[in-house]
Chains A and B, each alone.
Chain A
Amino acid sequence: MITLNHYLVLSGLLFSIGLVGVIKRKNLLMLFFATEIMLNAVNVGFAAISNHYGDLSGQMFAFFIIAIAASEVAVGLGLLILMYKRKSSVDLDTLTTMKG
C-alpha cells in the first residue's frame, strides 16, 4: 500500500536531488533547472497531503506555486540574458565582483 509516507519520502528525495543541483552547478542556467526540481518536489508533497486529508488547500497551494514559478522563470531568464550580454559568461565563478 502506498501511504502518505511514501509520497513524502519521495518528495524529500526529489528535494535533496534539487539541492544537490543547486549546490553543485556552476552554470546559472543549470542552477535554475535545479531550482525547478525543488519546486516540483514541494508540489508533490502538497498534493499528497491534500489527498490524504481530503483537503483542497494543498492543491491550491501547489497551484499558486506553479504560478509563481512561472513568473520567476520569466524574470529570471530576462536578467540572465542581460547579464550574459554584459559579462559574456554565465559561469558563477567568473561573476564574482566581491574580493572575498
Chain B
Amino acid sequence: MEKYLYIALFAPLLGSLTAALFGARPKTLFTGLWTSGLLAVSWISSILLFLHVYADPSANVVHVKMMDWISAGNLSIPFGFVVDQVSVTMMIVVTTVSTMVHVYAIGYMSHDKGFNRFFSWLSAFVFSMMILVMSDNFAGLFIGWEGVGLCSWGLIGFWYHKQSATWAANEAFIMNRIADLGMLIGIFLIYWNTGTLQYNEAFAAMPNLEHTLLITIGSFLFVGAMGKSAQFPLHTWLADAMEGPTPVSALIHAATMVTAGVYLVIRANPLYDLIPEVGYVIASLGAFVAMFAATMALVNRDIKRIIAYSTLSQLGYMFVAAGLGAYWVALFHLMTHAFFKALLFLGAGNVMHAMDDELDPFKMGGLYKVMKPTAILMILASVALAGIYPFAGFFSKDKILEVAFNGDHYILWGVLWVTAGLTAFYSFRLIMLTFFGDERYKKLGFHPHEAYPYMLWAMAPLAVLAAIAGFFEHAFVDFVTTLLPSYEFHTHHVEMILIAVTSTIAILGIATAVIIYKNGMLHPKWMERPCYKLFTNQYYIPQFYDAVFSKPYKELSIIFWKQIDMKIVDATVDLIANTFFNIGKDTRGVQSGNLSIMLRWMALGVTMLLTFGLIFVAAATLLG
C-alpha cells in the first residue's frame, strides 16, 4: 500500500519535471498527454488508497516516514506522510479535479505558446497540494503550503507579458506571504510548547497547555488559513487571480489551493475543539465573508469574477462549519463545492474561448443555441451551487445551515440564509445573461462555437459527481467521523422546516434572476444607486489597501533606498574604495620622474633612518 502512496505523491512531480524539459519549446502535445496520464495514475492510486482505508478505517491508515529531513538536537522533522480519512478525501478531490482540468487544458491551451510550461506548473501545483494534504507534520504542511503559493503565482502570472497578470500574481503571493507569517508563528509556538511538529504528538500534548496559549496558536494558524482561503481582509487577491488561464482558476481557486485553509482548520480540529471561542470568531468571519462576497458578485460584469466571488462566499460557509466544530460538514462541503465550482469555471472557460476571451456577460446572451452542452453543464453546476435537491450542494449547504441553527447561532444562520438566496440569484443571473435573452454578441461581431468534444468529456465526470455526490453523505459521515469528531445535531424536529425554508429562498433567488434577466440587462437607473457603486468597486477595499499600505510602503522603500542605501551604505563602501584610490593617487607623486623630487624623498628616508638609529642607540645605552 505504501507504494501507492508514493505513486500518488510523486507521479505529478514526474510529470512536471518532464514537462519542464520542454518548457522553452513550442507546443508539444506529448506534454499535455503525459502529465494528464501521470495524473490519472495518481488518481487511480488515490482511489486504491481510499478503498484500502475505507475497508477498515481505524487499522488501515497508511503512515510512512520517507526520510529524515531535519535532525538537529531535540528537533526532529521527518518527511512523513499519512493517508488517513481526511487526507484520502482531500487526495481524491484534488486528483479528480486535477485530472479533469489537465485534460480540459489540453484543449483550452492548445493555441498558447506556453503550452508545455503550463503543464509543468500545473503538475507541480498538484504535487505541492498532495504534499500539503498528505504530510503528517506541520513542517511538511508548510512546505506544501509554500509550494502551492509558488505554483499559484506562476500560474496566475502565466501570461507574464501582461502587466495586470504579473501584478495579480504578485498580489496573491505577497498577501499569502503576509498570512504565512502568522502561520509560521503558530507553528513555532506549537513546536516551542510541545517539542514536536508531528500532528498526533502535538495534538496529544495540547490539552496540557494553558488556554491563552492555545488561543494564540489557534489564532495564528487561522491567520495563515485566512491568507490561503482569502478570508477578509486578505481576500482581494482571489478576484484578481482571475487573470490566470481558466483551468488555473478551476483547479486552484475553486477546488484545491483555497481549500487548504479549511483543510488546516479541519486537520487541527483537536486544537480548535479546545478553544471554541476562536472557533466562534472563525465562524463569524466566515459568515461575514459569505455575505460580503455574495453582494459583490451580484453586480459584477466579469463572468470569472462572479464565480470567484462565489468561491469566496462558499469558503465562508466552510469556515462557518469548521469554526462551529462540525468538521466533517466542512469537509463534505469542500468536496462537493470542488466539483461543481470547478465545473462552473471550466464552463466559463468554454464561453470565454467561444467569445474570444470576452468576459463581460452583458456582451453575451443567447449562447444556449450555440453551446448547448456547455450551457447544460453550467446550469447543472449552478443548480448544485444554489443548493437545490437532489444535487450535491443541497446536502452540504443545508447541513451547514443546520449546524448554525443547531448551536443557537441564529444571527449566523440568518446571514447564511440570506446569502443562500443571493447565491442562487447571482448564479442564475450569470446563466441568464450568458445563455439566454437577446443575442447581444451578434451586434459586436463575435462568432462563438462549442468547445472540443474531449473538453466536454473532461467536464462530464465533474458534472456527474456534482449531481450524485450528495447521496454519499451517510457513507461519508461514517467514514470520516472515525477520525474527526462527530457533531451532535439537536435539531431533528425542525430539520424538515429548515430544509423547506432554505430551499424556498434558493428557488426564490433563481426565480427572481430568471425574471429580471430574461430580457437582458438591468435598468440603468439601478447603476446609480450608492449600494451598486459600493458593490461594483468591491467596497473600495482595493483602493483603501493601495492608499494605506501600498503607497506608504512604497514611499518608505524609496526613503530607504535613497537615504539609507545610497547615502549610507553605498557611501560607506564608496568611501573605502575612494580612500584607497586617493591614497594611490596622492602617493603617485613619489615617483614623479623628477630627479629633484626623488632626491627629496631620499633625504626624507635618510632622516627617518637616522632618527630611528638615534633613538635605538640612545635606548640601548640608557637601558643596557
**A residues engaging B (CB < 8 A)?**
19, 22-23, 25-26, 31, 92-93, 95-100
B591 within 8 A of A: yes
| A92 touching B594, Cβ below 8 Å | yes
Q: In the complex, what distance in Å separates the CA atom of A81 from the CA atom of B23? A: 80
Contacts of A23 in B (CB 8 A): 596, 599-600, 603
Contacts of A98 in B (CB 8 A): 591-593
Residue on B with the closest CB to A16?
B603
Return A12 CB to nearest CB of chain B, in Å. Answer: 10
Specify which of B588, B589, B596, B603 is in contact with A19 (CB 8 Å cutoff): B603
Q: A19-B603, A23-B603 are in contact. Are A100 and B596 (CB under 8 A)?
A: no
Return B6 CB to nearest CB of chain A, in Å. Answer: 73
When each residue 60-76 of chain B gets 1 if its CB lies under 8 Å from chain A and 0 otherwise, what string results? 00000000000000000
B59 within 8 A of A: no
Having A97-B593, A99-B593, A100-B591, one finds 15 other A-B pairs with CB under 8 Å, namely A19-B603, A22-B599, A23-B596, A23-B599, A23-B600, A23-B603, A25-B596, A92-B594, A95-B595, A96-B593, A96-B594, A98-B591, A100-B589, A100-B592, A100-B593
Contacts of A25 in B (CB 8 A): 596
Return B614 CB to nearest CB of chain A, in Å. Answer: 12
Task: Give residues 587-609 of B contacting A (CB, 8 Å).
Answer: 588-589, 591-596, 599-600, 603, 606
Residue on B with the closest CB to A22?
B599
A-B CB contact pairs (8 Å), 24 listed = A19-B603, A19-B606, A22-B599, A23-B596, A23-B599, A23-B600, A23-B603, A26-B596, A92-B594, A92-B595, A92-B596, A93-B594, A93-B596, A95-B595, A96-B593, A96-B594, A98-B592, A98-B593, A100-B588, A100-B589, A100-B591, A100-B592, A100-B593, A100-B594
Q: In the complex, what distance in Å separates the CA atom of A92 from the CA atom of B606? A: 22
Return B276 CB to nearest CB of chain A, in Å. Answer: 85
**B residues engaging A (CB < 8 A)?**
588-589, 591-596, 599-600, 603, 606
Contacts of B593 in A (CB 8 A): 96-100
Residue on A with the closest CB to B607?
A19
Contacts of A19 in B (CB 8 A): 603, 606
Contacts of A92 in B (CB 8 A): 594-596
Q: In the complex, what distance in Å separates the CA atom of A95 from the CA atom of B188? A: 77
Q: In the complex, what distance in Å separates the CA atom of A97 from the CA atom of B595? A: 11
Contacts of B595 in A (CB 8 A): 31, 92, 95
Residue on B with the closest CB to A28?
B595
Contacts of A96 in B (CB 8 A): 592-594
Which of A25, A31, A92, A97 is the most central at the interface, judged by chain B CB atoms within 10 Å of its CB?
Answer: A92
Return B611 CB to nearest CB of chain A, in Å. Answer: 14
Q: In the complex, what distance in Å separates the CA atom of A99 from the CA atom of B594? A: 10
Q: In the complex, what distance in Å separates the CA atom of A31 from the CA atom of B596? A: 9
Q: In the complex, what distance in Å separates the CA atom of A99 from the CA atom of B596? A: 15
Return A81 CB to nearest CB of chain B, in Å. Answer: 17
Q: In the complex, what distance in Å separates the CA atom of A97 from the CA atom of B591? A: 11
Return A45 CB to nearest CB of chain B, in Å. Answer: 15
Q: In the complex, what distance in Å separates the CA atom of A99 from the CA atom of B603? A: 23
Q: In the complex, what distance in Å separates the CA atom of A23 from the CA atom of B595? A: 9
Return B85 CB to nearest CB of chain A, in Å. Answer: 85
Residue on B with the closest CB to A25?
B596
Q: In the complex, what distance in Å separates the CA atom of A84 from the CA atom of B596? A: 17
Residue on B with the closest CB to A97?
B593
Return A53 CB to nearest CB of chain B, in Å. Answer: 20
Contacts of A22 in B (CB 8 A): 599, 603
Which of B589, B591, B596 is the most central at the interface, judged by chain A CB atoms within 10 Å of its CB?
Answer: B596
Contacts of B606 in A (CB 8 A): 19
Q: In the complex, what distance in Å separates the CA atom of A98 from the CA atom of B592? A: 6
Q: In the complex, what distance in Å separates the CA atom of A22 from the CA atom of B602? A: 10
Q: In the complex, what distance in Å separates the CA atom of A92 from the CA atom of B594? A: 7
Residue on A with the closest CB to B596?
A92
Contacts of B599 in A (CB 8 A): 22-23
Q: In the complex, what distance in Å separates the CA atom of A42 from the CA atom of B606? A: 16
Q: In the complex, what distance in Å separates the CA atom of A66 from the CA atom of B366? A: 122
Contacts of B588 in A (CB 8 A): 100
Return A44 CB to nearest CB of chain B, in Å. Answer: 19
Q: In the complex, what distance in Å separates the CA atom of A76 from the CA atom of B110? A: 92
Q: In the complex, what distance in Å separates the CA atom of A72 from the CA atom of B591? A: 25
Which of B588, B591, B603 is the most central at the interface, judged by chain A CB atoms within 10 Å of its CB?
Answer: B603
Q: In the complex, what distance in Å separates the CA atom of A22 from the CA atom of B592? A: 17
Q: In the complex, what distance in Å separates the CA atom of A40 from the CA atom of B55? A: 118
Residue on B with the closest CB to A99?
B593
Q: In the complex, what distance in Å separates the CA atom of A92 from the CA atom of B599? A: 11
Residue on A with the closest CB to B601?
A23
Contacts of B594 in A (CB 8 A): 92-93, 96, 100
Contacts of A26 in B (CB 8 A): 596
Return B591 CB to nearest CB of chain A, in Å. Answer: 7
Q: In the complex, what distance in Å separates the CA atom of A97 from the CA atom of B592? A: 9
Return A26 CB to nearest CB of chain B, in Å. Answer: 6
Return A32 CB to nearest CB of chain B, in Å. Answer: 12
Q: In the complex, what distance in Å separates the CA atom of A38 from the CA atom of B492? A: 124
Q: In the complex, what distance in Å separates the CA atom of A93 from the CA atom of B592? A: 10
Q: In the complex, what distance in Å separates the CA atom of A97 from the CA atom of B594? A: 8
Contacts of B591 in A (CB 8 A): 98, 100
Return A50 CB to nearest CB of chain B, in Å. Answer: 23
Q: In the complex, what distance in Å separates the CA atom of A92 from the CA atom of B597? A: 10
Return A78 CB to nearest CB of chain B, in Å. Answer: 18
Return A40 CB to nearest CB of chain B, in Å. Answer: 18
Q: In the complex, what distance in Å separates the CA atom of A93 from the CA atom of B596? A: 8
Return A97 CB to nearest CB of chain B, in Å. Answer: 6
Residue on A with the closest CB to B600?
A23
Contacts of B589 in A (CB 8 A): 100
Contacts of B603 in A (CB 8 A): 19, 22-23
Residue on A with the closest CB to B589?
A100
Q: In the complex, what distance in Å separates the CA atom of A6 from the CA atom of B377? A: 123
Q: In the complex, what distance in Å separates the CA atom of A22 from the CA atom of B603? A: 9
Residue on A with the closest CB to B606?
A19
